[in-house]
Chain A
Amino acid sequence: MTSVLQAQALGKKYGRRWALRECTVDIPAGHVVGLVGPNGAGKTTLLKLAGGQLEPTAGGITVLGGRPAAGPAQLAKVGFVAQDTPVYAGLTVAEHLRLGARLNPRWDDALARERIARLGLAPDQRAGRLSGGQRAQLALTLGLAKRPELLILDEPVASLDPLARREFLQGLMEATVEHAFSVVLSSHLVSDLERICDFLIVLADSRVRVAGEVERLLACHHRLSGPRRDPDRLSAGQQVISARHTDRQSTYVIRTDAPIHDPAWTVTRLSLEDLVLAYMDKRIAEDRPVALEVR
């Protein structure tokens, strides 16, 4: 088994509107995958399709080799932490753990208790009385103690303050070292994910704009700036991702595997954030082919 998630021309329609369309990705196992895009881009839809909470309108999706939510075995393999830290306000921390133990065949009670103790959460505290950061940590504990092969988290840190955000991501990363599972998490802020994800999917306007290993993406994208030049005069094999011109100067973000020798260009490295923004640039997004990583 080498793929955690494979989607083939996957699409989901709500009424007459496509929330996600023509989504084709193949995510190898063992990664922390960042799903990035503006609000309403289709991130939650893709995650819910992977978790089996939604049925596709078009195309197909396999998660860990099986159909999402196809049966108890498949459900046990995939953990899902939905948006806004889903815990039961009226239940205590201990009751959450008991519920987790009852509902999950692979429940790791030692892990859950150890984590709750380390976080300093009182077992008899009701979830509704916890701080936002603590609620998020409780939800993460439930997701981890399920011992999934794939943990999906939808905007897990969006509502957290910077400290709680960092502590949450520290806990998540530490757990991936201890228990070797794959992670897919979404955020509308790439800065949240920059350090932790090693595979990136950029969604915008219901479509996948780019997907691939972060390191490779950073290696093959460049910013060129220099005297004004039309895109058709760029070297063959330099795919334009975004372009800006003044009357004298041009600045391109291009994708190429070849070295850039043209001395007219000043070539600079892109940060992950620059790369994501370049793919969200609407001006040439329409005629830009979707750039998919081929394994």
Chain B
Amino acid sequence: MIEFYLDSRSGVSPYLQLVQQVRQALRLGLLHEGDQLPTVKDVVAGLAINPNTVLKAYRELEHEGLVAARQGVGTFVTKTLAGDSLAAHGPLRRDLRRWLAGARKAGLDDESIEALFMTTFRTASQEDIA
């Protein structure tokens, strides 16, 4: 079982924070197939949030095929995200380190690197959409 938390300063909507926390737990192998997610009542009582927020997050996860609701029992993990992509992390991280070293050599400081990465990331995802 995992426990949710909310970061009110993150600017990310609460429902999305719940979704991301489940996805991350799946990626890191904290949640496995068959594990139960906290009940809506437990999440609501723990975080003092609107029930619809939790329902929406769980619906979204269900839509993504990551969990399934069993009537009257609860919501269960049906898929794991760790695995295939995990193997690719190593080489990608090496590439990224090489790139970071290049950026430092060119004289970029932390903020400039972050800004460059984020704008490129956003432009690339926008181009993917378009």
B-chain residues with CB within 8 Å of residue A169 when the two chains form the complex: 48
Residue ID in chain A nearest B56 by CB atoms: A215
Count of A residues near B, CB < 8 Å?
21
CA distance A218 to B51 in the complex (A): 18
- Nearest-CB distance from B93 to chain A (Å)? 30
Give Cα A31–Cα B53 distance, bound, in whole angstroms: 11
Docked CA distance A211–B41 (Å):
27
Q: Decide if A195 touches B41 in the complex (CB within 8 Å).
A: no
How far is A177 from B51 in the complex, measured between Cα atoms in Å? 7
Indicate if the CB atoms of B50 and A32 lie closer than 8 Å. yes
**Which residues of B have CB within 8 Å of A171?**
45
Binding site for B on A (CB under 8 A): 31-32, 166, 169-171, 173-174, 176-178, 191, 194-198, 215, 218, 269, 271
Measured as residues with beta carbon below 8 angstroms from the partner, the interface class of chain B is 10 to 19
Residues in chain B within 8 A of chain A (CB atoms): 6, 8, 11, 13-14, 40-41, 44-53
Question: CB within 8 A of B50: which of A166, A191, A197, A218?
Answer: A197
- A194-B8, A195-B6, A218-B13 given; A178·B50 CB < 8 A: no
Q: Are B11 and A271 in contact (CB under 8 A)?
A: yes
- Flag if A173 contacts B14 (CB, 8 Å): no
Q: Is the CB of A195 within 8 A of B47?
A: yes
A–B pairs, 22, beta carbons within 8 Å: A31-B52, A32-B50, A166-B48, A170-B44, A170-B45, A170-B46, A171-B45, A173-B44, A173-B48, A174-B41, A174-B45, A176-B51, A177-B44, A178-B41, A191-B8, A195-B6, A195-B53, A196-B48, A197-B50, A198-B52, A198-B53, A218-B13
Give the docked Cα–Cα distance between A170 and B47 (Å). Answer: 7
**Known contacts A195-B14, A269-B11: does B48 contact A177 (CB below 8 Å)?**
no
Interface of B: prevailing SS: helix
Are B48 and A170 in contact (CB-based, < 8 A)? Answer: yes
Contacts of B50 in A (CB 8 A): 32, 173, 195-198
Are B8 and A173 neighbours in the complex by a CB distance under 8 Å?
Answer: no
> What residues of B have a CB within 8 angstroms of the CB of A198 in the complex?
50, 52-53
A169, B13: Cα distance in complex, Å: 19
Which residues of the partner chain A approach B46 to less than 8 Å between Cβ atoms? 170
Write the chain A residue with the least CB distance to B6.
A195
Residue of B nearest to A273 (CB): B8
Q: Using CB atoms, name the residue of chain B closest to A171.
A: B45
Instruction: Rank and list the top 8 A-B pairs by shortest CB-CB distance, nearest first.
Output: A169-B48, A174-B45, A170-B48, A195-B49, A173-B44, A177-B41, A177-B51, A198-B50
- Beta-carbon contact of A173 and B49 below 8 Å: yes
What residue in chain B is nearest A165 (Cβ atoms)? B48
Q: Which residue of A lies closest to B12 (CB)?
A: A269
Task: Decide if B51 touches A173 in the complex (CB within 8 Å).
Answer: yes
Shortest A2–chain B CB gap in Å is: 16
Give complex CA distance A178, B41 in Å: 8
Which residues on B sit within 8 Å (CB–CB) of A166? 48
| Chain A contacts for B14, CB-based, 8 A | 195
Considering only CB atoms, which chain A residue lies closest to B40 in the complex?
A: A177
CB of B38 to closest CB in A, whole Å: 12
How far apart sit A160 and B46, CA to CA, in the bound complex (Å)? 18
Q: Which residues of A contact B11 (CB under 8 A)?
A: 269, 271
User: Out of B40, B45, B48, which one reaches A195, CB within 8 Å?
Assistant: B48
Shortest Cβ gap from A117 to chain B (Å) = 16
**What residues of chain B lie closer than 8 Å to A178, measured between beta carbons?**
41
Q: Which residues of A contact B13 (CB under 8 A)?
A: 215, 218
Set of chain B residues within 8 Å of A215, measured between Cβ atoms: 13
A84 to B8, CA, bound (A): 27
CA distance A174 to B43 in the complex (A): 9
Determine if B41 and A196 form an interchain contact, defined as CB atoms under 8 angstroms apart. Answer: no
A115 to B75, CA, bound (A): 27
A174's contact among B6, B8, B44, by CB below 8 Å, is which?
B44
A sample of 7 more A-B contacts (CB under 8 A), given A174-B45, A191-B8, A198-B50, is A171-B45, A173-B45, A174-B44, A195-B47, A195-B49, A197-B50, A269-B11
